[in-house]
């Protein structure tokens, strides 16, 4: 990537109402930066990625920087270590049972979200409903029947379920940092299983992992992410440990 490239996130691919779905944006940025970063990228979001506007992608010291005008939106770097923690496989039946207890059905901070929004009826919406899995602490799962997904969409699918391992009532969590490795695209029209597991929370940041499986346990992809709880007026400033690494 020698010249500045540009990209644009469709307005339909939002998470919060006025910004992109974090996983979709990270997938797009990682894909565009692959010539510089390589196939395994980690993307840190510095500000909510804007919708339907031109973003500039520039190489900088073996990283790729995503700019909206003079504002740095994201940094894409090489993921230098294999993912240490993984989400467990659960059966199709267990994932279907878990979906029935999707907490977002009653309390959802972003009901228009591309991936897990409950208010979406348009063709772009993915309608994931991850709920707690019986017998597995801190694990959520759901089923998903893909159409013809691209890589960016697969990052989005691996993103949102991780947020539902956390308490999204009150001040919600949003994606801050994500890496993903997609091994293969799941077959179109056949059910797949998305699983996410909460690993740890420190202050306002939480680490989660997720994976996408076929009904026979074939892993199509996995991801690791850091989520950040939005502050309210009663929250103290984050400590050094709570801040995301640069």
List C-alpha distances in Å: 190 to 187, 210, 214: 6, 20, 9
The pLDDT score that the predictor gives to residue 36 is 85
What pLDDT score was predicted for residue 4?
83
CA distances (Å), origin 169, targets 42, 106, 148: 28, 10, 33
Give the least confident one: 6-20, 117-131, 197-211, 224-238: 224-238
Q: Structure tokens of 222?
A: 């996995």
Is a pLDDT exceeding 60 seen at residue 66?
yes
Summarised one tens digit per residue, pLDDT across range 96-110 is 999 999 999 999 999
Average pLDDT over the chain, rounded to an integer: 92
3-state SS string over 68-130?
Answer: ECCEEEEEEEECCCCCCCCCCCCCHHHHHHHHCCCHHHCCCCCCCCCCCCCCCCCCCCCCCCC
- Distance, in Å, from the CA atom of 90 to the CA atom of 99, rounded to the nearest integer, reads 12
Name the pTM for this structure.
Answer: 0.92
Q: C-alpha distances in angstroms, 73 versus 22, 32, 116, 181?
A: 11, 14, 23, 22
Query: What pLDDT, on the 0 to 100 scale, is given for residue 169?
Result: 87
Q: How confident is the model at residue 39 (pLDDT cuts 50, 70, 90)?
A: confident
């Amino acid at each position: 990537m020698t010249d500045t490239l540009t990209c644009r996130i469709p307005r339909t691919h939002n998470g919060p109402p006025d910004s992109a779905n974090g996983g979709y944006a990270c997938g797009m940025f990682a894909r565009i930066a692959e010539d510089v970063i390589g196939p395994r990228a980690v993307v840190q979001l510095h500000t909510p990625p804007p919708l339907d506007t031109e973003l500039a992608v520039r190489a900088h010291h073996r990283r790729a920087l995503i700019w909206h005008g003079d504002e740095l939106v994201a940094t894409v770097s090489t993921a230098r270590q294999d993912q240490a923690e993984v989400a467990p496989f659960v059966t199709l039946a267990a994932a279907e049972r878990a979906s029935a207890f999707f907490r977002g059905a009653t309390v959802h901070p972003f009901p228009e979200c591309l991936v897990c929004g409950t208010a979406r009826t348009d063709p772009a919406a993915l309608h994931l409903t991850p709920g707690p899995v019986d017998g597995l602490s801190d694990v959520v799962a759901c089923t998903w029947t893909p159409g013809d997904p691209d890589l960016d969409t697969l990052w989005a699918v691996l993103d949102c379920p991780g947020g539902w391992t956390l308490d999204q009532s009150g001040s919600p969590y949003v994606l801050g940092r994500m890496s993903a490795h997609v091994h293969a695209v799941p077959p179109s029209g056949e059910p797949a299983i998305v699983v996410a597991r909460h690993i740890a929370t420190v202050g306002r940041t939480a680490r989660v992992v997720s994976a996408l499986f076929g009904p026979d346990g074939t892993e199509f992809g996995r991801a690791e992410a850091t989520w950040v709880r939005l502050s309210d007026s009663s929250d103290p400033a984050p400590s050094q440990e709570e801040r995301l690494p640069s």
